[in-house]
Chains A and B, each alone.
Chain A
Amino acid sequence: MSKQMSQRLWFGICGFFASMTIVALLFLLFSIVKEGASVISWSFITEPPRRNMTEGGIWPALVGTFYVASLTVLISVPIGIGAAIYLNEYAKQGPVVRVIRMSIRNLAGVPSIVYGLFGLAIFASTLRLGVGLITAAITLAIMVLPWIITASEEALKAVPNSFREGGLALGATKWQTIRNNVLPSAIPGMATGSILGLARAAGETAPIILTGAAYFSRNLPSSLNDSFMALPYHLYILATQHAQAAAVRPIAYGTALVLIMMVILLNLSAILLRNHYRRKNEMF
């Protein structure tokens, strides 16, 4: 086989696999949209499930997901940003930083269900918080922490060093420089990272199965200890745990579509935010 031929063959193989990636995505999106689109309506979004979930909507699951994801972000973002500030602004290369970075990478690789079990053992059982919103949120916060730290560090790294030098050379203290010169420029990037964390927390199921998600609850959670319905868990229930699997299938499709749209929209807004500020920064 000539050089030319074999190159064409291999490029073709690479192209085939690459296009399979697109096919896979389109297949996934299409199969959900096809069945789910007709289910979604205003009342589907705003009404609670009725008649043993065979009718009605997903309102409590939507609200529950919003609650738990917001709480997660509220807990993980300040800690994650603080850790990133330490790593990027204060820490000097050495064994301490190496251990911290190794731990972060390790935490990022821990399976989500293990976090769930951990949350159950420490927050629900040992600290007596029980299963509910706060336990689930802290557990999820620990799970997304490595991502928040990494994203915040990226944002800090993108701040030009001249901002730091300029501040310090004027006799500002290190903290004054960070607060006045570094953080303002890093905040858009950190916000982007936080939204991505929010999206992950919103789509995550395994940890909340063990730490607070409810099969069904008539009322919205009214305290931090209440268990809550959540979109991904609701989908899992409808798909596998419900006695009338066929009857709830359309609702399951609708739930899946809402979940996907939510995650994609969150990611999209994060990307748009990032691009907006990147463009603004280029102007500077």
Chain B
Amino acid sequence: MTAFQTAVKENKKKSPVVQENINKEESIFSAKGLNLWYGNDQALKDINLDIRKNGVTAIIGPSGCGKSTFLKTLNRMVELVPIVKTSGAIDYHGVNIFDPSVNLVELRSSVGMVFQKPNPFPKSIFDNVAFGPRVHGVKKKAELKEIVEKSLRGSGLWDEVKDRLGESAMGLSGGQQQRLCIARCLAVEPEVILMDEPTSALDPKSTLKVEELIQELKKDYSIVIVTHNMQQAARISDKTAFFLNGEVVEYDNTDTIFSNPQDKRTEDYITGRFG
């Protein structure tokens, strides 16, 4: 039995509600016995979770249950908090991302991230999108231009900003800023995009735009999205994981989770009885 199968078996043992079919799909990340502590406070407890390749995986759960922490663990951004300690493994392309040999620059280039609050840099729109390619060594103006256009088209922002690429990104609306951040992420050509409540700071119209964009992007990227908004998870995701107190309570096809949850706690949460 391979280590992977063992892990799967363990996984099933510990979370009996995880459905068979999930493990049959090709997964991009697989967390195995992942624990994480902030100092002495454990924020993630023995997480075993396979995130499928392509499509959208939503992570839901009450505030403070460890959603953001888990997401930031996938590209090791969580380590910016100096007191963080982890144990266990996350497999990505056959490598444990915690392995000392892992090149963080490569990991973060292929696992992009969009933050809760849009965080454009105080530079021009063009320079924001060109930031990633530049730091990765693209110097030619023509090439940069091409990437910037492609990425802005990819995030559906091109038509709105094509005439003012030189202006400060800070002048864009909140929704535009968030799509700019997505474009900035696309410009690095990632394989996975992590999104932490990307629409929570946006108005309904901008939210709709970003949701449409996610539907578009999922054809080509694996997307993991944290959301507080149950309807959003139901609308846009293929798989949903329900976190509670740092543990995965239930992980299944989104339809199943929302129509026929196996765990009482999941049901309570999605029907709004707590959290």
Which A residues lie at the B interface, using CB under 8 A?
Answer: 92-93, 160, 162-173, 176, 180-181, 184-185, 281, 283-284
Contact in complex: A176, B135 (CB < 8 Å): yes
Which residue in B77, B119, B135 is a CB contact (below 8 Å) of A163? B119
Which residue in A162, A171, A185, A284 is a CB contact (below 8 Å) of B136? A171
27 CB < 8 A contacts A-B:
A92-B82, A160-B119, A162-B119, A163-B119, A163-B121, A163-B122, A165-B77, A165-B80, A166-B119, A166-B121, A167-B135, A168-B108, A169-B77, A169-B108, A169-B185, A170-B131, A170-B132, A170-B185, A170-B188, A171-B107, A171-B108, A171-B109, A171-B132, A180-B121, A185-B122, A281-B122, A284-B170
Which residue in B82, B113, B136, B170 is a CB contact (below 8 Å) of A169? B113
Which residue in B75, B82, B117, B185 is a CB contact (below 8 Å) of A93? B82
Task: Write the nearest CB–CB distance from B79 to chain A, whole angstroms.
Answer: 10
Contact in complex: B131, A180 (CB < 8 Å): yes
Contact in complex: A166, B82 (CB < 8 Å): no
Contact in complex: B135, A162 (CB < 8 Å): no
Contact in complex: A284, B122 (CB < 8 Å): yes
- Is B115 interfacial (CB 8 A cutoff)? yes
Contact in complex: A171, B119 (CB < 8 Å): no
How many residues of B are counted as interface, with CB atoms below 8 angstroms from the partner's CB atoms? 28
- Is B106 interfacial (CB 8 A cutoff)? yes
Bound Cα distance from A168 to B122, whole angstroms: 16
- Is B3 interfacial (CB 8 A cutoff)? no
Taking chain A's interface residues, is the majority helix, strand, or loop, or is none over half, making it mixed?
A: helix
Contact in complex: A165, B105 (CB < 8 Å): no
* List of A residues within 8 angstroms of B80 by Cβ: 164-165, 168
- Is B112 interfacial (CB 8 A cutoff)? yes
Bound Cα distance from A166 to B119, whole angstroms: 7
Which residue in A160, A167, A281 is a CB contact (below 8 Å) of B131? A167
* List of B residues within 8 angstroms of A160 by Cβ: 119
* List of A residues within 8 angstroms of B75 by Cβ: 169
Residue of B nearest to A162 (CB): B119
Given known contacts A162-B117, A165-B115, is B122 in contact with A170 (CB within 8 Å)?
no
* List of B residues within 8 angstroms of A283 by Cβ: 170
Ordered nearest first, which 10 A-B pairs have the shortest CB separation? A171-B109, A162-B119, A169-B113, A284-B170, A171-B108, A172-B135, A170-B132, A176-B135, A166-B119, A171-B105
* List of A residues within 8 angstroms of B117 by Cβ: 162
* List of B residues within 8 angstroms of A169 by Cβ: 75, 77, 108, 112-113, 115, 185
Bound Cα distance from A9 to B272, whole angstroms: 59
Bound Cα distance from A185 to B131, whole angstroms: 16
* List of B residues within 8 angstroms of A167 by Cβ: 121, 131, 135
Residue of A nearest to B120 (CB): A166
Task: Write the nearest CB–CB distance from B135 to chain A, whole angstroms.
Answer: 4
Contact in complex: A180, B135 (CB < 8 Å): yes
Residue of A nearest to B184 (CB): A170
Task: Write the nearest CB–CB distance from A96 to chain B, whole angstroms.
Answer: 14
Bound Cα distance from A166 to B116, whole angstroms: 11
Within 8 A of A (CB), among B164-200: 168, 170, 181, 184-185, 188
Task: Write the nearest CB–CB distance from B128 to chain A, whole angstroms.
Answer: 9
Bound Cα distance from A173 to B103, whole angstroms: 10
Bound Cα distance from A190 to B108, whole angstroms: 31
Bound Cα distance from A157 to B116, whole angstroms: 21
- Which among B80, B105, B135, B168 has the highest number of chain A CB atoms within 10 Å? B135
Residue of B nearest to A161 (CB): B80
Task: Write the nearest CB–CB distance from A178 to chain B, whole angstroms.
Answer: 12
* List of B residues within 8 angstroms of A284 by Cβ: 122, 168, 170
* List of A residues within 8 angstroms of B168 by Cβ: 284
Given known contacts A176-B135, A283-B170, is B106 in contact with A171 (CB within 8 Å)?
yes
* List of A residues within 8 angstroms of B112 by Cβ: 169-170
Contact in complex: A170, B108 (CB < 8 Å): yes
* List of B residues within 8 angstroms of A181 by Cβ: 121
Within 8 A of A (CB), among B133-164: 135-136
Residue of B nearest to A280 (CB): B122
Bound Cα distance from A99 to B115, whole angstroms: 36
Residue of B nearest to A91 (CB): B82
* List of B residues within 8 angstroms of A172 by Cβ: 105, 131-132, 135
Task: Write the nearest CB–CB distance from B197 to chain A, whole angstroms.
Answer: 14
* List of A residues within 8 angstroms of B104 by Cβ: 171
Residue of B nearest to A284 (CB): B170
* List of A residues within 8 angstroms of B185 by Cβ: 169-170
Task: Write the nearest CB–CB distance from B114 to chain A, whole angstroms.
Answer: 9
Task: Write the nearest CB–CB distance from A38 to chain B, whole angstroms.
Answer: 49
Task: Write the nearest CB–CB distance from A51 to chain B, whole angstroms.
Answer: 57
Which residue in A93, A162, A173 is a CB contact (below 8 Å) of B115? A162
Task: Write the nearest CB–CB distance from B139 to chain A, whole angstroms.
Answer: 14
Bound Cα distance from A171 to B105, whole angstroms: 4
